[in-house]
Amino acid sequence: SQQGEEDPQALSIQEGENATMNCSYKTSINNLQWYRQNSGRGLVHLILIRSNEREKHSGRLRVTLDTSKKSSSLLITASRAADTASYFCATDRWFYSTLTFGKGTMLLVSP
């Protein structure tokens, strides 16, 4: 069953702007992860945030987690054309290491 749902479904911005994507989920989680997928390729792990963390940074990426609202956001600062991709959030189920992925946000960064 689907757990994470990303919002918006698609986002179009100019290079240099910031991009924000949101993920909402329904049940308790151990951690939440964000992945990127370039067109027609496999997914690449970006960042993992644990349920007891509120914010995490990695380079130009900033992830927040609000467990009370069951939501997370991914911020990409100073975006580049190379950031054009689909971005997925994934949550793990409490007793297993399987992940449930959302349907993704398609980000288009124009030069």
Partner 1 sequence: DVKVTQSSRYLVKRTGEKVFLECVQDMDHENMFWYRQDPGLGLRLIYFSYDVKMKEKGDIPEGYSVSREKKERFSLILESASTNQTSMYLCASSHKKGLNNEQFFGPGTRLTVL
Tokens of 45: 């792990």
Which listed range, 18-26, 62-70, 71-79, 90-98, lies at the site for partner 1 (CB under 8 A)? Answer: 90-98
Query: Token match 């909402």: residue?
Result: 24
Phi, psi angle pair for 109, to nearest 5°: -110, 115
Closest to 94 (Cα-Cα) out of 14, 29, 24 = 29
> In the set 69, 82, 98, 111, which binds partner 1 (CB under 8 A)?
98
Based on CB atoms, which residue is closest to partner 1, 73 or 104? 104
Cis peptide before 8 (omega within 30 of 0): yes
When asked if residue 67 is in the footprint of partner 1 (CB under 8 A), the reply is no
Query: Does position 34 bind partner 1 by CB under 8 A?
Result: no
* Interface residue list for partner 1 (CB under 8 A): 1-2, 30-31, 33, 35, 40-45, 48, 50, 88, 90, 92, 96-104
